[in-house]
Amino acid sequence: MINNASTLNNKRRIGIMGGTFDPIHFGHLLAAEESHRELELDEIIFIPTGQPPHKCKISSQEHRYDMTLLATAGIPYFSVSRMEIDRGKPSHTIDTLRELKAIMGNEVEFCFITGLDAMLSISSWKEYMELPHLCRLVTVTRPGYSPKNLHELPQQIREAIVFIEIPRFSLSSTNIRERISEGKGAKYLVPDAVEDYIRKCRLYLSHK
Ligand code: ATP
Ligand code: MG
Protein backbone atom coordinates (compact mmCIF):
# COMPACT_ATOMS: atom_id res chain seq x y z
CA MET A 1 0.00 0.00 0.00
CA ILE A 2 1.35 3.45 -0.85
CA ASN A 3 0.28 6.79 0.47
CA ASN A 4 1.67 9.55 -1.66
CA ALA A 5 2.10 10.61 -5.26
CA SER A 6 5.83 9.95 -5.49
CA THR A 7 5.56 6.33 -6.56
CA LEU A 8 3.06 7.00 -9.33
CA ASN A 9 4.55 7.39 -12.79
CA ASN A 10 4.63 10.40 -15.08
CA LYS A 11 1.61 9.58 -17.18
CA ARG A 12 -1.40 11.87 -17.28
CA ARG A 13 -3.38 10.99 -14.16
CA ILE A 14 -7.15 10.90 -14.26
CA GLY A 15 -9.27 10.35 -11.18
CA ILE A 16 -12.57 8.53 -11.56
CA MET A 17 -15.17 9.16 -8.88
CA GLY A 18 -18.03 6.70 -9.22
CA GLY A 19 -21.13 6.83 -7.09
CA THR A 20 -24.88 6.73 -6.95
CA PHE A 21 -24.84 10.40 -5.94
CA ASP A 22 -28.41 10.25 -4.61
CA PRO A 23 -27.73 13.07 -3.76
CA ILE A 24 -24.10 14.13 -4.26
CA HIS A 25 -22.79 15.72 -1.02
CA PHE A 26 -19.71 17.39 0.45
CA GLY A 27 -18.24 14.00 1.47
CA HIS A 28 -17.96 13.07 -2.24
CA LEU A 29 -16.53 16.46 -3.17
CA LEU A 30 -14.00 16.36 -0.35
CA ALA A 31 -12.86 12.86 -1.35
CA ALA A 32 -12.33 14.08 -4.92
CA GLU A 33 -10.65 17.33 -3.93
CA GLU A 34 -8.22 15.69 -1.51
CA SER A 35 -7.34 12.98 -4.05
CA HIS A 36 -6.75 15.67 -6.68
CA ARG A 37 -4.36 17.52 -4.40
CA GLU A 38 -2.53 14.59 -2.80
CA LEU A 39 -2.00 12.63 -6.01
CA GLU A 40 -1.55 15.62 -8.32
CA LEU A 41 -4.32 14.38 -10.56
CA ASP A 42 -4.86 16.27 -13.82
CA GLU A 43 -8.61 15.91 -13.66
CA ILE A 44 -11.42 14.00 -12.01
CA ILE A 45 -14.38 12.57 -13.86
CA PHE A 46 -17.51 11.99 -11.78
CA ILE A 47 -19.49 9.06 -13.15
CA PRO A 48 -23.00 8.64 -11.72
CA THR A 49 -23.99 4.98 -11.84
CA GLY A 50 -26.74 3.97 -14.22
CA GLN A 51 -28.29 0.96 -12.53
CA PRO A 52 -26.19 0.12 -9.46
CA PRO A 53 -26.16 -3.69 -9.02
CA HIS A 54 -26.40 -3.44 -5.21
CA LYS A 55 -29.12 -0.80 -4.82
CA CYS A 56 -32.76 -0.92 -5.92
CA LYS A 57 -34.88 2.12 -5.08
CA ILE A 58 -32.93 5.16 -6.20
CA SER A 59 -33.79 8.49 -7.80
CA SER A 60 -33.90 8.79 -11.57
CA GLN A 61 -30.64 8.84 -13.46
CA GLU A 62 -31.36 12.32 -14.80
CA HIS A 63 -31.90 13.80 -11.33
CA ARG A 64 -28.66 12.25 -10.08
CA TYR A 65 -26.77 13.39 -13.18
CA ASP A 66 -28.14 16.94 -12.94
CA MET A 67 -27.22 17.22 -9.25
CA THR A 68 -23.68 15.99 -10.01
CA LEU A 69 -23.37 18.61 -12.75
CA LEU A 70 -24.55 21.37 -10.40
CA ALA A 71 -22.17 20.29 -7.62
CA THR A 72 -19.10 20.24 -9.86
CA ALA A 73 -19.87 23.27 -12.06
CA GLY A 74 -17.16 25.91 -12.04
CA ILE A 75 -14.35 23.62 -10.90
CA PRO A 76 -12.09 23.37 -13.94
CA TYR A 77 -10.61 19.96 -13.13
CA PHE A 78 -13.98 18.30 -12.37
CA SER A 79 -16.24 16.94 -15.10
CA VAL A 80 -19.22 14.57 -15.24
CA SER A 81 -19.68 11.64 -17.61
CA ARG A 82 -22.94 10.01 -18.69
CA MET A 83 -21.19 6.82 -19.78
CA GLU A 84 -22.71 4.54 -17.12
CA ILE A 85 -26.15 6.13 -17.45
CA ASP A 86 -26.12 5.78 -21.23
CA ARG A 87 -24.92 2.17 -21.08
CA GLY A 88 -28.45 1.16 -20.09
CA LYS A 89 -27.34 -1.97 -18.21
CA PRO A 90 -26.23 -2.55 -14.61
CA SER A 91 -23.06 -0.53 -13.99
CA HIS A 92 -19.83 -2.32 -13.19
CA THR A 93 -16.58 -0.47 -12.51
CA ILE A 94 -14.56 -2.95 -14.56
CA ASP A 95 -16.63 -2.24 -17.70
CA THR A 96 -16.28 1.51 -17.19
CA LEU A 97 -12.51 1.33 -16.77
CA ARG A 98 -12.11 -0.90 -19.83
CA GLU A 99 -14.19 1.53 -21.86
CA LEU A 100 -12.16 4.52 -20.63
CA LYS A 101 -8.89 2.75 -21.38
CA ALA A 102 -10.08 1.94 -24.90
CA ILE A 103 -10.97 5.60 -25.47
CA MET A 104 -7.97 7.25 -23.81
CA GLY A 105 -5.21 4.71 -24.47
CA ASN A 106 -2.23 3.64 -22.43
CA GLU A 107 -0.77 7.08 -21.82
CA VAL A 108 -3.18 7.66 -18.97
CA GLU A 109 -2.98 6.36 -15.41
CA PHE A 110 -6.46 5.93 -13.96
CA CYS A 111 -7.03 6.45 -10.24
CA PHE A 112 -10.38 5.04 -9.18
CA ILE A 113 -11.45 6.88 -6.02
CA THR A 114 -13.60 5.26 -3.33
CA GLY A 115 -14.34 5.65 0.34
CA LEU A 116 -13.04 2.98 2.69
CA ASP A 117 -16.51 1.38 2.98
CA ALA A 118 -16.62 0.77 -0.75
CA MET A 119 -13.05 -0.57 -0.94
CA LEU A 120 -13.74 -3.04 1.87
CA SER A 121 -16.55 -4.52 -0.22
CA ILE A 122 -14.49 -4.78 -3.41
CA SER A 123 -14.64 -8.58 -3.42
CA SER A 124 -18.32 -8.32 -4.39
CA TRP A 125 -17.52 -6.34 -7.55
CA LYS A 126 -17.50 -7.96 -10.98
CA GLU A 127 -14.01 -9.26 -11.97
CA TYR A 128 -12.47 -7.26 -9.14
CA MET A 129 -9.10 -8.99 -9.36
CA GLU A 130 -8.68 -7.44 -12.83
CA LEU A 131 -8.99 -3.89 -11.50
CA PRO A 132 -5.30 -3.55 -10.45
CA HIS A 133 -4.35 -4.04 -14.12
CA LEU A 134 -6.44 -1.03 -15.07
CA CYS A 135 -6.17 1.50 -12.27
CA ARG A 136 -4.84 2.57 -8.89
CA LEU A 137 -7.39 2.03 -6.15
CA VAL A 138 -7.43 5.33 -4.31
CA THR A 139 -9.12 4.83 -0.95
CA VAL A 140 -10.09 7.66 1.39
CA THR A 141 -11.01 7.45 5.05
CA ARG A 142 -14.67 7.14 5.92
CA PRO A 143 -16.01 7.37 9.48
CA GLY A 144 -17.07 4.00 10.86
CA TYR A 145 -14.55 1.97 8.84
CA SER A 146 -11.05 1.00 9.90
CA PRO A 147 -8.11 1.00 7.47
CA LYS A 148 -6.78 -2.01 9.40
CA ASN A 149 -9.38 -4.11 7.61
CA LEU A 150 -7.69 -3.39 4.28
CA HIS A 151 -5.14 -6.03 5.27
CA GLU A 152 -7.81 -8.68 4.78
CA LEU A 153 -7.98 -7.92 1.05
CA PRO A 154 -5.98 -10.02 -1.43
CA GLN A 155 -2.37 -8.95 -1.87
CA GLN A 156 -2.82 -7.84 -5.50
CA ILE A 157 -5.61 -5.51 -4.44
CA ARG A 158 -3.63 -4.18 -1.48
CA GLU A 159 -0.68 -3.39 -3.72
CA ALA A 160 -2.89 -1.25 -5.97
CA ILE A 161 -4.34 0.75 -3.07
CA VAL A 162 -3.27 4.34 -2.43
CA PHE A 163 -4.67 5.24 0.97
CA ILE A 164 -5.41 8.88 1.76
CA GLU A 165 -6.43 10.30 5.12
CA ILE A 166 -9.04 13.01 4.63
CA PRO A 167 -10.99 15.00 7.23
CA ARG A 168 -13.67 12.62 8.44
CA PHE A 169 -17.05 13.70 7.20
CA SER A 170 -19.74 11.67 8.93
CA LEU A 171 -22.18 12.07 6.08
CA SER A 172 -23.96 9.80 3.65
CA SER A 173 -26.63 10.18 0.98
CA THR A 174 -28.82 7.82 3.00
CA ASN A 175 -28.54 10.15 5.98
CA ILE A 176 -29.39 13.18 3.81
CA ARG A 177 -32.45 11.45 2.30
CA GLU A 178 -33.64 10.62 5.81
CA ARG A 179 -33.11 14.17 7.02
CA ILE A 180 -35.09 15.63 4.13
CA SER A 181 -37.98 13.22 4.65
CA GLU A 182 -38.04 14.35 8.29
CA GLY A 183 -38.17 18.00 7.22
CA LYS A 184 -34.63 18.78 8.42
CA GLY A 185 -33.16 19.78 5.05
CA ALA A 186 -29.60 19.43 3.77
CA LYS A 187 -28.12 22.87 4.29
CA TYR A 188 -24.30 22.78 4.68
CA LEU A 189 -24.30 19.09 3.72
CA VAL A 190 -24.69 19.58 -0.03
CA PRO A 191 -23.78 22.56 -2.27
CA ASP A 192 -26.44 25.29 -2.31
CA ALA A 193 -27.32 24.60 -5.96
CA VAL A 194 -27.98 20.94 -5.11
CA GLU A 195 -30.10 21.93 -2.14
CA ASP A 196 -32.20 24.24 -4.39
CA TYR A 197 -32.58 21.46 -6.94
CA ILE A 198 -33.74 18.96 -4.30
CA ARG A 199 -36.30 21.44 -3.03
CA LYS A 200 -37.62 22.45 -6.49
CA CYS A 201 -37.91 18.83 -7.67
CA ARG A 202 -39.38 17.77 -4.31
CA LEU A 203 -36.92 14.89 -3.97
CA TYR A 204 -36.68 12.63 -0.91
CA LEU A 205 -39.85 13.91 0.75
CA SER A 206 -40.82 10.33 1.46
CA HIS A 207 -37.81 8.27 2.48
CA LYS A 208 -37.11 5.15 0.44
P1 ATP B 1 -25.56 5.89 0.17
O2 ATP B 1 -25.82 6.18 1.60
O3 ATP B 1 -26.77 6.04 -0.71
O4 ATP B 1 -24.80 4.60 -0.07
P5 ATP B 1 -23.09 7.40 0.01
O6 ATP B 1 -23.03 8.65 0.81
O7 ATP B 1 -22.38 6.20 0.52
O8 ATP B 1 -24.60 7.08 -0.35
P9 ATP B 1 -22.29 6.75 -2.66
O10 ATP B 1 -22.85 7.41 -3.87
O11 ATP B 1 -22.74 5.37 -2.29
O12 ATP B 1 -22.56 7.77 -1.43
O13 ATP B 1 -20.71 6.78 -2.66
C14 ATP B 1 -19.89 7.08 -3.74
C15 ATP B 1 -18.45 7.01 -3.27
O16 ATP B 1 -18.17 8.08 -2.36
C17 ATP B 1 -18.12 5.71 -2.50
O18 ATP B 1 -16.83 5.29 -2.87
C19 ATP B 1 -18.16 6.14 -1.05
O20 ATP B 1 -17.32 5.35 -0.23
C21 ATP B 1 -17.63 7.58 -1.14
N22 ATP B 1 -18.13 8.42 -0.05
C23 ATP B 1 -19.41 8.76 0.18
N24 ATP B 1 -19.52 9.55 1.27
C25 ATP B 1 -18.26 9.71 1.76
C26 ATP B 1 -17.72 10.40 2.91
N27 ATP B 1 -18.51 11.05 3.76
N28 ATP B 1 -16.38 10.36 3.10
C29 ATP B 1 -15.60 9.66 2.24
N30 ATP B 1 -16.05 8.97 1.14
C31 ATP B 1 -17.36 8.99 0.90
MG1 MG C 1 -22.68 4.30 -0.35
Q: Is 132 exposed, middle or buried (0-12, 13-18, 19+ CB in 10 A)?
A: middle
Asked if residue 22 has its Cβ within 6 Å of ligand 1, the reply is yes
In the prediction, which pLDDT does 3 show?
A: 52
Average of per-residue pLDDT values in the chain:
93
What torsion, rounded to 10 degrees, do the Cα atoms 195, 197, 203, 204 define? Answer: -10
Instruction: Tell me the pLDDT tens digit for each residue of 91-107.
Output: 899 999 999 999 998 88
CA distance 43 to 139: 17
Please state, in angstroms and as integers, the Cα–Cα distance from residue 57 to each residue in 4, 51, 84, 152, 177, following that order.
37, 10, 17, 31, 12
Asked if residue 177 has its Cβ within 6 Å of ligand 1, the reply is no
Instruction: Tell me the pLDDT tens digit for each residue of 12-37.
Output: 999 999 999 999 999 999 999 999 99
User: Residues with Cβ < 8 Å from 74, sequence gap 6 or more?
Assistant: none
Q: In the Cβ-directed half-sphere of 105, how many Cα atoms lie within 13 Å?
A: 3
Asked if residue 15 has its Cβ within 6 Å of ligand 1, the reply is no
Q: Which of 73, 70, 69 is nearest to 85 (CA)?
A: 69
Instruction: Tell me the pLDDT tens digit for each residue of 113-143.
Output: 999 999 999 999 999 999 999 999 999 999 9
> Average of pLDDT values for 145-174?
96
Asked if residue 121 has its Cβ within 6 Å of ligand 1, the reply is no
**Mutation test of ligand 1: which of 16, 17, 20, 177 has the most ligand atoms closer than 8 Å to its C-beta?**
20
Query: How far away, in angstroms, is 155 Cα from ligand 1 center?
Result: 24
Q: Which of 20, 23, 18 is nearest to 195 (CA)?
A: 23
Q: Which of 156, 149, 164 is nearest to 133 (CA)?
A: 156
Asked if residue 65 has its Cβ within 6 Å of ligand 1, the reply is no
Query: Does position 5 have pLDDT exceeding 60, yes or no?
Result: no
Instruction: Tell me the pLDDT tens digit for each residue of 29-83.
Output: 999 999 999 999 999 999 999 876 666 678 899 999 999 999 999 999 999 999 9
In the prediction, which pLDDT does 88 show?
A: 86
In the prediction, which pLDDT does 2 show?
A: 53
CA distance 208 to 206: 6
Asked if residue 140 has its Cβ within 6 Å of ligand 1, the reply is yes
In the prediction, which pLDDT does 208 show?
A: 53
Instruction: Tell me the pLDDT tens digit for each residue of 83-92.
Output: 999 998 888 9
Query: How far away, in angstroms, is 9 Cα from ligand 2 center?
Result: 30
